[in-house]
């Protein structure tokens, strides 16, 4: 939505979290504050009571469309759409069920190292509208886009990166099909002069790419390999020399809780992959680390996901010890065929206890991996709290004499 279309309109900002507040501040600077009303579900249960009165509704990402009335007279837009339609610079959009934060950070680091006028915005960076008044034709915005931000947009970035699409956020969307359609919006409105960098090994992504008008750049890889290759291709498109890309990749520090190497203690290697909140990401972690993984810590909040594929992958692995958290821990255990190599199962609600089990039951020279395949809610505040707890107890017990 163009900024001129907002003038003299009755505007409702729906949701007043980080993005909603930044939208309000941006519109205030545009002289539109007298036209704005704020409605926030956290403060008022009747926040959509008078929604039909407004000509423009700027919806925050966290509010599902399914929670709104089916027929709304006003136009529903978002900060993301406003930014995409008004930014004078180049936008590199990054999305995927998993890997988008790492990939966006990699792209930003490459362009920053190369001396480009680049900004990291969106899901990982600051709200995009904060930078719109400073943007010019030479500005490049690396925009990490969640499915929530992509829902309902009518314009796509000039350069789009689509990493993967797996079942996720099924409590937010009416169906997986609706979730996948939101992800597809990153390329849906691209033209023949735009670029789509996509994972050619993900079946849903391949299907989305077939319908894209953009110049297609297929990539392959597992975990960080895929993220790094996607970032490299984005750098090449904006004409960063290969020598500068290589230099940037050598100095990049990977984000925590994403296959983060915690250390080697008592001759056991520990990896923190707490951001693994779906079965597919746990499978990729196992594929990446290989047969040295002997202990896996998994399980968490139950979003109704299917663990059959993970069960089959675990049966093929060399894992001998499985440490499981509720609520999905038992579901993961039931999904594992009897032919697996797993000989020890532990059910626990306590990370300290989980790490003690790991130390006592992992052989020297092997790997203990935290890759839960489930969200963290319940026992932990979020994935970072879960990962930090794992790291804390791994280091706390590194010199302890543990017997289980």
Would you kindly state where each structural domain of the chain is located, as residue ranges? 3-77, 80-251, 260-396
Run means of pLDDT, 10 residues per run, the chain, 404 residues: 93 95 95 92 82 95 90 95 98 97 98 97 93 96 97 97 92 91 98 98 97 97 93 98 97 94 97 97 96 98 94 97 97 95 96 97 97 95 97 95 73
Q: Are 77 and 153 in contact (CB under 8 A)?
A: no
pLDDT at residue 47, rounded to an integer: 77
- H or E, element range at 331: helix 329-334
User: Element (H or E) spanning 144, and its range?
Assistant: strand 140-144
116 three-class SS: coil
What is residue 361's predicted lDDT score, i.e. its pLDDT?
A: 96
Domain 3-77: give its CATH superfamily. Answer: NAD(P)-binding Rossmann-like Domain (3.40.50.720)
Tracing tokens 């993900």 back to the chain, one arrives at 202
Structure confidence at residue 41 (pLDDT)? 86
Instruction: State the pLDDT at residue 402.
Output: 77
Edge-first strand listing for the sheet containing 195-199: 118-122, 140-144, 90-95, 159-162, 195-199, 215-219
Question: Which homologous superfamily is 80-251 in?
Answer: Mur-like, catalytic domain (3.40.1190.10)
| pLDDT value for 400 | 86
pLDDT value of residue 404: 62
Class of domain 260-396: alpha beta
Question: Within 13 Å and on the Cβ side, how many CA atoms surround 7?
Answer: 5
């Amino acid at each position: 939505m163009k900024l001129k279309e907002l003038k003299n309109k009755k505007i409702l900002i729906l949701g007043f979290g980080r993005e909603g507040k930044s939208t309000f501040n941006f519109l205030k600077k545009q002289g539109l504050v007298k036209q704005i009303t704020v409605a926030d579900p956290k403060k008022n249960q009747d926040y959509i009571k008078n929604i039909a009165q407004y000509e423009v509704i700027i919806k925050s990402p966290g509010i599902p469309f399914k929670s709104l009335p089916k027929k709304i007279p006003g136009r529903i837009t978002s900060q993301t759409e406003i930014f995409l339609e008004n930014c004078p610079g180049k936008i590199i959009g990054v999305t995927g069920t998993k890997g988008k934060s790492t990939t966006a950070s990699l792209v930003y680091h490459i362009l920053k190292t190369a001396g480009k006028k680049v900004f990291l915005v969106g899901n990982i960076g600051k709200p995009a509208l904060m930078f719109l008044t400073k943007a010019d034709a030479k500005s490049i915005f690396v925009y990490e886009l969640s499915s929530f931000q992509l829902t309902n947009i009518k314009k796509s970035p000039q350069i789009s990166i689509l990493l993967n699409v797996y079942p996720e956020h099924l409590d937010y969307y009416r169906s997986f099909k609706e979730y996948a359609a939101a992800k597809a919006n990153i390329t849906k409105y691209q033209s023949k002069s735009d670029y789509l960098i996509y994972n050619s090994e993900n079946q849903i992504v391949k299907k989305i790419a077939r319908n894209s008008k953009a110049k297609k750049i297929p990539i392959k890889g597992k975990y960080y390999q895929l993220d790094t290759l996607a970032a490299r291709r984005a750098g090449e498109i904006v004409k960063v020399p290969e020598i500068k890309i290589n230099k940037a990749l050598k100095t990049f520090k990977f984000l925590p809780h994403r296959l983060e190497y915690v250390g080697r203690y008592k001759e056991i290697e520990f990896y923190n992959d707490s951001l693994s909140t779906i079965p597919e990401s746990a499978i990729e972690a196992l594929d990446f680390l290989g047969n040295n993984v002997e202990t896996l810590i998994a399980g968490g909040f139950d979003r109704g996901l299917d663990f059959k594929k993970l069960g089959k992958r675990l049966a093929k692995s060399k894992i001998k010890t499985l440490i499981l958290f509720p609520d999905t821990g038992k579901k993961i255990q039931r999904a594992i065929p009897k032919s697996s190599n797993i000989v020890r199962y532990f059910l626990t609600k306590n990370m300290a206890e989980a790490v003690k089990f790991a130390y006592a039951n992992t052989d020297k020279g092997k790997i203990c991996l935290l890759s839960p395949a489930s969200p963290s809610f319940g026992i932990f505040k979020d994935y970072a709290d879960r990962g930090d707890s794992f790291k804390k107890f791994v280091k706390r017990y590194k010199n302890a004499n543990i017997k289980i």
